[in-house]
Amino acid sequence: MKRDSVPGFRLNPDTLRCSKPIDRSFRLGLFRAVQLQRTFLKWAGGKTKLVSVIRGLVPTDAKRLIEPFVGSGAVAINLDFPAAILADGNADLMGVYRELQRGGKRFMAQCERLFTPDANSAVVYYERRAEFNTTTNRRRKAALFVYLNRHGYNGLCRYNSRGGFNVPFGRYKAPGFPAAPMAVFHDRLARCELQAADFRPIIAAAGPGDFVYCDPPYVPASATANFTAYSKTAFGPIEQADLAKACRDAALRGACAVISNHDNSTTRALYAGADERHELLVGRRISCRPGGRTAVPELIVVYRPRRQKRGAASAA
Ligand SMILES: C[S@@+](CC[C@H](N)C(=O)[O-])C[C@H]1O[C@@H](n2cnc3c(N)ncnc32)[C@H](O)[C@@H]1O
């Protein structure tokens, strides 16, 4: 099917801006045209593939990006906002961004020194993992996080019940130091406020002119699937419901809020009241089959800003 023949969907090839709500499923191949900036961290659920779609949903008058689940920053680094609040519940991750923001080239050099060929061994990896779990030196911990992210299994970020990082060695041939994407991210951080926090207070700060992009841990794709990783605390049905409400409230205060998640009966019920619902098929790696890929149905919902009378209170 040709791009412009997808029913209900028109695409401006220059900006890949959606000219009307996407009301049909379509293949991601449509969006390959734009050169995207890579992230320097590997992160489960990274959103590089959805950047073009998300970019098309940004209101023209949006002035600030708020990303409460920033992860590797795939969206933040590819959207050009004059200001941003980047936040995540994972304090180790935000510690890396903070050290990069403060230390710049000095911090990058400290990270790069950990990427020697002899450090790509299980012995060194487990020594450094143990050091990461005990050190109180924030800069050293952040540098070790970058090393573990690139040398650990699948770039996972997983903790045991005591909060210890417990991802096994990844057995990569030669993990390279991500100098170029790290330098780009450092430049971008000059315009960003960083917060290691739960999503609720972060979204509560959104108002007119803000574009809130939420990429939470997804609801399980099916009754048998269950994904948890990034942090020491769970993200269950209460968090999913609180997120939907926080985004509705943000729109009532004048912000635009966009959320991505699996497309299933749970999320359709959760977001039944959204202003737009976009259905997508996204190519994803299947963890149980090396090199295996499948197209996963995803949902992007949008709450458009409500113009409020001055002094009106936020309603649910
Ligand atoms: C799907 S990932 C985001 C991926 C990101 N969009 C990217 O491109 O890399 C979900 C993120 O939510 C964070 N998270 C989990 N629970 C949270 C909470 N209660 N508040 C804020 N962030 C949370 C995780 O640490 C993780 O980084």
Q: What is the CATH number of the domain that holds 134?
A: 1.10.1020.10
Which residue, judged by its Cα, is nearest atom 4 of ligand 1? Answer: 71
Residue 280 lies in a domain: yes
Whether 214 is covered by a domain: the verdict is yes
Per-residue pLDDT of the chain (316 residues; tens, 9 = 90+): 332 222 323 333 332 333 334 433 343 444 444 689 999 999 998 888 899 999 999 999 999 999 999 999 999 999 999 999 999 999 999 999 999 999 999 999 999 999 999 999 999 999 999 999 999 999 999 999 999 999 999 999 999 999 999 999 999 999 999 999 999 999 999 999 999 999 999 999 999 999 999 999 999 876 555 544 455 568 999 999 999 999 999 999 999 999 999 999 999 999 999 999 999 998 776 555 556 678 889 999 999 999 765 555 444 3
CB 72 within 8 A of CB 38: no
Query: Using one digit for the tens of pLDDT, what is the confidence trace for 154-201?
Result: 999 999 999 999 999 999 999 999 999 999 999 999 999 999 999 999
Number of domains in the chain: 2
- Cα 170 to Cα 155: distance, rounded to the nearest angstrom: 8
Please give the residue range of the domain that contains residue 151.
Answer: 94-178
For residue 196, give the H/E element and its range. strand 192-196
Structure pTM?
0.86
Same domain for 83 and 101, yes or no, is: no
Same domain, 213 and 292: yes
Residue 188 lies in a domain: no
Distance 88 CA to ligand 1 centre (A): 6
Q: How remote is the CA of residue 40 from the centroid of ligand 1, in Å?
A: 16
Query: Is residue 243 a part of any domain in this protein?
Result: yes
Q: Whose CA is nearest to atom 7 of ligand 1?
A: 46
- At residue 313, the pLDDT reads 45
Of 91, 169, 83, residue with least CA distance to 126 = 169
Q: Are residues 109 and 84 in the same domain?
A: no
Q: Is 163 inside a domain boundary?
A: yes
What local confidence, expressed as pLDDT, does residue 295 receive? 85
* In a shared domain, residues 142 and 290: no
CATH number, domain containing residue 71: 3.40.50.150
| 107 in the same domain as 64 | no
The Å distance, Cα 69 to ligand 1 centre, comes to: 4
| Residue 22 CB burial class (10 angstroms; 0-12, 13-18, ≥19) | buried
